[in-house]
Amino acid sequence: MPLAGLMGVTSAVNSLFGGKLPLLGAAGYKPLKVGVVAEAAVEAIARESVKGVVEVKDIEELYSKAWRRGML
């Protein structure tokens, strides 16, 4: 778990700078659970408006929409 903790700290530092630290690359984002990515992928496939590469914040938004729709 030390790596997960380091990734969390790195993500928090990047968030403080508004995600503008390009030297951090992928390490600047918090790790996403595989279930979140999977739900977001299914939601993206269902939406014709989603095309190409999807940013981390968009993955989280797609997951949120899928979760809300599942609650109905």
Per-residue pLDDT, 66: 93
Per-residue pLDDT, 6: 60
Q: Which of 3, 4, 27 is nearest to 15 (CA)?
A: 27
Q: What type of residue sits at position 56? A: V
70 plus 37 within the same structural domain: yes
1 plus 15 within the same structural domain: yes
**Total domains present in the chain:** 2
What residue numbers bound the domain in which 64 lies?
32-72
Chain position carrying tokens 């993206």: 44
Task: Provide the whole-model pTM.
Answer: 0.62
Q: What's the mean pLDDT in 36-54?
A: 93
14 plus 40 within the same structural domain: no
Q: How far is CA 66 from the centre of its chain?
A: 14
45 plus 70 within the same structural domain: yes
* Alpha-carbon dihedral sign for residues 42, 43, 49, 55: negative
Contact 8, 29 (CB under 8 A): no
